[in-house]
Amino acid sequence: MLKVWTNAVLHKFIQSRLEGYRLIVVSNREPYHHRYTPDGRVECSRPAGGMASALEPVMRACGGLWIAHGSADADRAVVDSHDHVEIPEGNPQFTLRRVWLTKEQVQGYYLGLSNQGLWPLCHVAFTRPYFERRDWDQYREVNQIFANAVLEEAADQPTFVFIQDYHFGLLPRMLSEANANLIVAQFWHIPWPNREVFRSFPWKEELLDGLLGNDLLGFHLRHHCQNFLDTVDRGIEALVDPSVSEVFRKGKRTLVRPFPISIDFDAYTAISQSAEVENHMNCWRRRIPLNGKRLGIGIDRLDYTKGIPDRIRALDVFFEECPEYRERLMFAQIGVPSRSSLPAYREVEREVDQLVESVNCRWGTDHWRPITLFKRQFSRAEMIALHRLADFCVVTSLHDGMNLVAKEFVASRIDGDGALVLSRFTGAARELRDAILINPFSIEETASAYKQALEMPSEERIRRMHRLREEVETNNIYAWAGRFLTALTRLEFPDRMENVENLENLEAEE
Ligand code: F6P
């Protein structure tokens, strides 16, 4: 059996198993956006967030078309008359088709229904969801806009449509009703709550019916699949077969399966070794004057689900209880601004600012500011450089479908060292068992995890990091895509299944 899926193996797999089919990926967030610089040039960069950066290497391996919302100020300037642009610039490997939305549509579909409704509803992180009828109407309208774009692109060609995330709960049904020849699959990148929680969603039947337009529906964890099946069983007329994790409705079968997402481990390893990262490490050394001090880090979008205030409170307790670390530990927090027009996001940012200020006032001295907060986006190489400098990385999500920062930290540590403090309430905690696992709601437990990370004997730290790296290397993003496509192939083309398990054949063909 093949141990490690690679870009090349996935490429071969797709060529042989999805032969004759075109791939269309749909997401709200685009993998690259184009922006005007202050001097009027157009710059192409990656937006923040895990989904687009995880999917991009898969798309490079598969080729095909990616349909996403064009949201940056220079996006329109670079597309052709079909709203297409080749990605990446200079070495095109796939096509991006941009879909344009009005301000009202973004407000209702993205900020409103998706991020004030579904996001808090599914994360259950003690921030209440809000549901507005007009947001739901915009959500439906935008799902239809994306459906029209997919149908136009697919025309009458055999096409596999791979939809990303909670922005598109209605799209699968729209597609399968309009064109029965499409194969439609979706990955839901956030948790699915239990049926009691989901009951508060006012348009639950329509949303569930939309999702049951998929041939295959993936979640990160088995637990989320079970919650979904249970919600369907109680919430809508459908035949649920939990023994094989399938649902039948309106003559269609939907297979529901867990596929824990990951990252491109090899790419991280390669970038980690680059001169660019070495240079960025020097930049970080200037920004954070370590002078022999230890370093803890956190890298997150400024989102209330990430538990950033909780980790700062835990630092306060840590400096109180471990005075020997005063003037000896620095903590660097990157908080990437996100969804900042929503009150709950502005509120968490204000809280983080205040807490950083108060910890720095309480413990800081003439020579030492314990916490440095950077509120902007950094490039991947800059983040890898910070990972490489850290003694430990902290992930304190109150609830997270997966959390790719934890995996990025591990993949960046080509030196095989460093400790990971990881919330038990992330999907990643199911795989990264050698992290120091914490309940982020317990400030004391988090504070003592910092101490454990700093004082763990080096042999143990290295042994743990070795196992963490093996885990991320094996269960990488190509394995995620490969397993997803294997499930789909088994469903749609059982005749193409011979040798599918024995991926060594694919490697040998290389
Ligand atoms: O985790 C869910 C998710 O939608 C990711 O897929 C994405 O990377 C992240 O949230 C960021 O969200 P947004 O696109 O709203 O900035």
Q: Where are the domains of the chain?
A: 7-262+477-497, 265-474
Which pLDDT tens digit goes with each residue over 452-510?
A: 999 999 999 999 999 999 999 999 999 999 999 999 888 888 777 655 555 545 544 43
Three-state secondary structure of 279-336: HHHHHHHHHCCCCCCEEEEEEEECCHHHCHHHHHHHHHHHHHHCHHHCCCEEEEEEEE
Q: Does ligand 1 have an atom closer than 6 angstroms to the CB of 165?
A: yes
- DSSP single-letter state for residue 367: T
Q: Distance between CA atoms of 447 and 440, rounded to whole angstroms?
A: 10
Q: Is residue 271 scored above 50 in pLDDT? A: yes
Q: How far apart are CA 144 and CA 147, in angstroms?
A: 5
> How many Å lie between the centroid of ligand 1 and the Cα of residue 248?
30
Q: How much is the average pLDDT of 235-254?
A: 96
More confident residue, 273 or 56: 273
CB 200 within 8 A of CB 206: no
Q: Is 338 in the pocket of ligand 1 (CB under 6 A)?
A: yes
Task: Report pLDDT for 500.
Answer: 52
Rounded mean pLDDT, 185-214: 98
Mean pLDDT of 328-352: 98
When pLDDT is averaged across residues 198-217 and rounded to a whole number, the result is: 98
CA 491 / ligand 1 centre spacing (Å): 29
Determine whether the shortest distance from the Cβ of 306 to ligand 1 is under 6 A.
no
Residue 491: its pLDDT value, please? 84
CATH topology for 7-262+477-497 is Rossmann fold (3.40.50)
- Does 88 sit behind a cis peptide bond, omega within 30 degrees of 0 on the bond before it? yes
Ligand 1 atom closest to 110 (CA): 15
Q: Quick one: which of 321, 351, 347, 363 has its CA closest to 451?
A: 321
With a 6 Å cutoff on the Cβ, whether 111 touches ligand 1 is no
Q: Is the pLDDT of residue 147 over 70?
A: yes
Cα 251 to its chain centre, rounded Å, is: 32
Tokens found for residue 372: 């440095």
Q: Is 212 a residue whose pLDDT tops 60?
A: yes
Q: Which residue has its alpha carbon closest to ligand 1 atom 9?
A: 49
338 Cα: distance to centroid of ligand 1 (angstroms): 9
How high is the mean pLDDT of the chain? 94
Residue 119 alpha carbon to ligand 1 centre in Å: 10
Tokens (6 digits) for 424: 């038990």
Of 42, 38, 47, 100, nearest in space to 74 by CA: 42
- Segment among 242-251, 417-426, 482-491 with least mean pLDDT: 482-491
Give CA–CA dist 215/248, Å, rounded. 10
- Average pLDDT (386-415) is 98
More confident residue, 20 or 324: 324
pLDDT at site 505: 54
User: Which residue has the CA at smallest separation from atom 12 of ligand 1?
Assistant: 49
Tell me whether the CATH fold assigned to 7-262+477-497 matches the one assigned to 265-474. Answer: yes
Measured CA to CA, the distance from residue 89 to residue 106 in angstroms comes to 27
pLDDT tier at 90, thresholds 50, 70, 90: confident
| CATH fold label, 265-474 | Rossmann fold (3.40.50)
Q: How far is the CA of 100 from the centre of ligand 1 (A)?
A: 19
> In this structure, is the dihedral angle defined by the CA atoms of residues 499, 501, 502 and 506, taken in order, positive or negative?
positive
pLDDT (0 to 100) of residue 508: 40
Per-residue pLDDT tens digits for 63-84: 899 999 999 999 999 999 999 9
pTM summary value: 0.95
**Mean pLDDT for the stretch of residues 326-346:** 97
49 lines ligand 1 (CB under 6 A): yes
- Identify the residue with better confidence: 376 or 88: 376
- Quote the percentage of the chain above a pLDDT of 90: 86
Structure tokens at 392: 């430990």
Q: Determine which helix (DSSP H) or strand (DSSP E) holds 437, and give its type and residue range.
A: strand 436-438
- Which has the closest alpha carbon to 343: 69, 120, 99? 120
Average pLDDT over residues 143-153: 98
Rounded Cα distance, 265 and 411, in Å: 6
| 320-325 mean pLDDT | 98
- Residue 162 backbone dihedrals phi, psi, to 5 degrees: -115, 105
Residue (of 421, 419, 423, 427) closest to 480 by Cα position? 427
**Lowest mean pLDDT: which of 51-60, 305-314, 435-444?**
51-60
Residue range 372-385: mean pLDDT, rounded: 97
Nearest CA to ligand 1 atom 15: 339
472 lines ligand 1 (CB under 6 A): no
Residues 40-59, mean pLDDT to the nearest whole number:
85
Cβ-count burial 238-277 (b if 16+ within 10 Å, e if not):
bebeeeebbbebeebbbbbbbbbbbbbbbbbbebbeeeeb
300 within ligand 1 shell (Cβ under 6 A): no
Q: What's the confidence (pLDDT) of residue 454?
A: 98
Torsion angles phi and psi, residue 54, rounded to 5: -75, -40
Residue 364 C-alpha to ligand 1 middle, in angstroms?
35
**51-55, 104-108, 345-349, 466-470: segment of lowest average pLDDT:** 51-55
Question: If you measure from the C-alpha of residue 294 to the centroid of ligand 1, how many angstroms do you get, rounded to a whole number?
Answer: 31
Q: Which of 462, 483, 461, 485 has the alpha carbon at shortest distance from 474?
A: 483
Q: What is the separation of C-alpha 431 from the centre of its chain, rounded to a whole number of angstroms?
A: 16
Choose which residue among 25, 27, 29, 119 to substitute to test ligand 1 binding: the one with the highest number of ligand atoms within 8 A of its C-beta.
29
Question: How is residue 377 written in tokens?
Answer: 């986006």
Helix (H) or strand (E) holding 359: helix 343-363
